């Protein structure tokens, strides 16, 4: 079992990607929790923090939603650089950056323990169907 990093109540993780999911920006909270420097993250696919426990269907739903121009929200278990994990409640939405390029912005906060437990069980069931 991997080590869990629990977000503090005021943590607000933000990242920006291009249309292909490559990271353009990550705030200090995101870097600190994930265990990467900004330099290590920029230019990398955002799925570098995807945890294997999250079913592929969850990310399919996320990408289908934001590519239609809609906002996606959901609970995500992410992987840390050192092999641990952390849970977030994420809101991902399409936007136009200051250079006029399309991309996606993701804002994440701490979920409650009950929300984590519920989604851990739900995702376990989904993975059994994959």
Domains for the chain: give ranges and CATH numbers.
Answer: 13-129 (3.30.450.20)
Tokens of 83: 């092999």
pLDDT of residue 98: 82
Sheet holding 23-26, edge to edge: 23-26, 13-18, 102-109, 85-96, 72-79
pLDDT at 124: 87
For the chain, 130 residues long, the average pLDDT of each consecutive 10-residue run is: 91 96 97 98 96 88 94 96 97 92 96 95 84
In this structure, are residues 44 and 50 in contact, taking their beta carbons and an 8 Å threshold? no
What does pTM read for this prediction? 0.92
């Amino acid at each position: 079992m991997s080590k869990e990093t629990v977000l503090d109540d005021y943590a607000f993780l933000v990242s920006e990607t291009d249309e292909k999911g490559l990271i353009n920006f990550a705030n200090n909270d995101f870097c600190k929790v994930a265990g990467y420097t900004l330099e290590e993250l920029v230019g990398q696919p955002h799925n570098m923090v995807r945890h294997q426990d999250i079913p592929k269907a969850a990310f399919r739903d996320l990408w289908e939603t934001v590519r239609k121009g809609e906002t996606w929200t959901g609970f995500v278990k992410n992987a840390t650089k050192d092999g641990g994990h952390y849970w977030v409640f994420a809101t991902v939405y399409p936007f136009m950056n200051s250079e006029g390029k399309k991309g996606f912005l993701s804002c994440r906060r701490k979920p409650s323990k009950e929300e984590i437990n519920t989604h851990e069980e739900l995702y376990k069931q989904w993975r059994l169907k994959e």
